[in-house]
Structure 1
Amino acid sequence: MPLHGGCPLRGSTDRTLVRVQELHDAPLAPLTTFRLGGPATRLITATTDAEVIDAVRAADDTGTPLLLVGGGSNLVIGDKGFPGTALRIATRGFTLDGTRLELAAGEVWTDAVARTVDAGLAGIECLAGIPGSAGATPIQNVGAYGQEVSSTITEVVAYDRHARETVTLANDACAFSYRHSGFKAEPERFVVLRVRFLLEDADGMSAPLKYAETARALGVEAGERVPLARARETVLKLRAGKGMVLDPEDHDTWSAGSFFTNPILTDDEFGAFHARVVERLGAEAAPPAFPAGDGRTKTSAAWLIDRAGFTKGYGTGAARISTKHTLALTNRGGATTEDLLTLAREVVAGVRDTFGVTLVNEPVMVGVDL
């Protein structure tokens, strides 16, 4: 759905590009956590908001295709690369005013989370270890272990390519939903520059724990609080155990994290799905089911993948399912993007044939599709 409610922000610039790094026929694979994909015709690295805006305007003025690259943790780039300008957003800025936090789009997300925990502020501690940049978090409505950024974001400052001005969008104008937002719905319109959050000063304690796995790992009940540092450390351990914390020596982390989103089904769809589960796995089988509002139910993509026969480590080529988590598709070294997509298509087809549910990819596809 479209975003609305934006207001112009003073400070937009018409200055020409200066100080940016520019490369031609530039490899993009090293800028992604998959380490896959061909080159871009042109790669620009911008370190200020003004440079970002100038690069975007230059591409728009000449009709040049534009690819935005942040931390590269949510990109699948085709083997042929990108025939246009890739703009790497490397802006920096961490501003804390009481419980109000502002992050430049290029800030490393996991480092920002660590700094808020050190400052004694709660609200994003369970999002520790998520790779990528701060600017990507509102686009995907990044979430994990019972927290989503939409619950703490107050405003997003973005460049509106249609209006050719910088705007500030309040939370309700961002159209947040599960792993989605208005930014994701209109990918050619907005370029995120800064993200503003309202955190909580809870005397060094975490926000109430919402995720059962986290609470169990901490030895407390859901809804309780624990020391902030302990919450962050526990989440990092949980993520590392699933290959979800970047480690160049661990091929299970050569991935985009969860490759598929958890399906959200209507009552009728869930009923049909449950019937297939009983038919395939027996009357005692009970698929995960979580209320998702509006008469819908969320189930587990990982459960579907595993029960359809795609277990940890599945595959024989250079692209395989992670040995630690069935939701992660990985590059074991030497894979191509087509290798990865062949595996992804096999998983999608297998889950659909087994349970009648079609999985949806979470990473952004560039020059390819499933």
Structure 2
Amino acid sequence: MQVLDNAPLAPLTTLRLGGPARRLVTAHTDDEVVAAVRAADAAGEPLLVLGGGSNLVISDAGFDGTVLRIATRGFALDGADLELAAGEVWAEAVARTVVEGLAGIEFLAGIPGSAGATPVQNVGAYGQEVSETVTEVVAYDRVAGETVTLANADCSFSYRHSRFKADPERYVVLRVRFGLTDAAGQSSPVKYAEVAKGLGVGIGDRVDLTKAYEKVLALRAGKGMVLDAADHDTWSAGSFFTNPVLTAEQYAAFAARLGELTAPAYPAPDGCTKTSAAWLIDRAGFTKGYGGGAATLSTKHTLALTNRGAATTEDLLALAREVRDGVRAAFGVELVNEPVMVGVAL
């Protein structure tokens, strides 16, 4: 393990924001991860687990405790069954499954971050979520003091949520196992209208696996959602707000405020309706590139809040609050942040 005191955290996040960690521990094996967690817990030390840093907003003051950076590696295939170490780079792992001709996570191409974070957030994009293919999650249970294996049904997956996100102080993900599909070089069924249109196919069709992967990469790049150090539109945490899921009562109130506008609406569980956060932000007057300071909305996508190079975390949060409050005033809908907040809150 590598241990550093007063270590900068901003370079370890895709936003390039946040103050230092009092102590930064980098673990390269599962045993090192568990040892570091046990040591912090035994000492009563605050602990922050860091993977790819793509879904974190860290306070300008930093983190007064131990930050555990998981740098484990491991990509193992047994037929169509895949096991990834938590520290594997997600985008690289997806690319490898496509080369192997396996479908199931190809529409999650180009998403930054580590494999271990994917079940926590139930990462999803373009009509696909990891919950569809995750079979097991191996994690260290800080309450039980032992390593446990949780089946998919035990992970409580829902939209951008899971058992791990609901109880963030309990589990540290070590490995994630997926059941992929050998579909003779074909993709999973296309579920997302933008992807279907780009590929010239219908919803439910399958296409060449590589073409599906490349189309998603192109779509993400066009929205500034593929990391590029030279492009400040990618200095973000991806989608900053989740798409609101409204109860029947909430949706009726929302619809009454729309007037002649027609908002995107998609069926959600329990009689709810999901609408588009990006649509709400844009229609509330926050267009691409909005903001005159060091933090602005992306010039490519209204759902990403970006660091233009000299921003602070407080600059970013001020913009996030302005957008959230503006959407609430315009439509009566409360936007909820998707990134994890460390030492700060909206």
TM-score (norm 1): 0.93
Counterpart for residue 247 of structure 1: 228
Alignment counterpart, residue 160 of structure 1, candidates 124, 141, 155: 141
Alignment counterpart, residue 94 of structure 2, candidates 93, 99, 113: 113
Is 1:270 aligned to 2:251, yes or no?
yes
For 2:10, the aligned partner's letter is A
Cα separation, 1, equivalents of 2:194 and 2:264: 14
- 1:1-370 matched pairs, under 5 angstroms: 20-278=1-259, 283=260, 285-370=261-346
For 1:171, the aligned partner's letter is N
SS in 2 for 1:326: coil
Q: Deviations over 1:193-233 (max 9, x none)?
A: 00000000000110000011001000111111111111000
Cα separation, 2, equivalents of 1:306 and 1:209: 27
SS in 2 for 1:294: helix
SS in 2 for 1:103: strand
Cα separation, 2, equivalents of 1:232 and 1:186: 33
Q: After TM superposition, give the deviation of residue 140 of structure 1 in Å.
A: 0.2
Q: Deviations over 1:302-326 (max 9, x none)?
A: 0000000000000000000000000
Cα separation, 1, equivalents of 2:302 and 2:176: 32
For 1:68, the aligned partner's letter is V
Across the two proteins, how many residue pairs are aligned to each other? 346
Q: Deviations over 1:278-334 (max 9, x none)?
A: 1xxxx3x11110000211000000000000000000000000000000000000011
Cα separation, 2, equivalents of 1:320 and 1:273: 27
For 2:306, the aligned partner's letter is T
For 1:326, the aligned partner's letter is T
- In structure 1, runs of 5+ residues without a counterpart are 1-19
Q: After TM superposition, give the deviation of residue 277 of structure 1 in Å.
A: 1.2
Cα separation, 1, equivalents of 2:320 and 2:262: 25
Cα separation, 1, equivalents of 2:327 and 2:40: 40
Q: Deviations over 1:84-124 (max 9, x none)?
A: 00000000000000010000000000000000000000000
- In structure 2, runs of 5+ residues without a counterpart are none
For 1:289, the aligned partner's letter is A
Q: After TM superposition, give the deviation of residue 58 of structure 1 in Å.
A: 0.2
Moved over 3 A (4+): none
RMSD: 0.4
Cα separation, 1, equivalents of 2:175 and 2:137: 6
For 1:353, the aligned partner's letter is A
For 2:326, the aligned partner's letter is G
SS in 2 for 1:169: strand
Identity across the alignment (%): 75
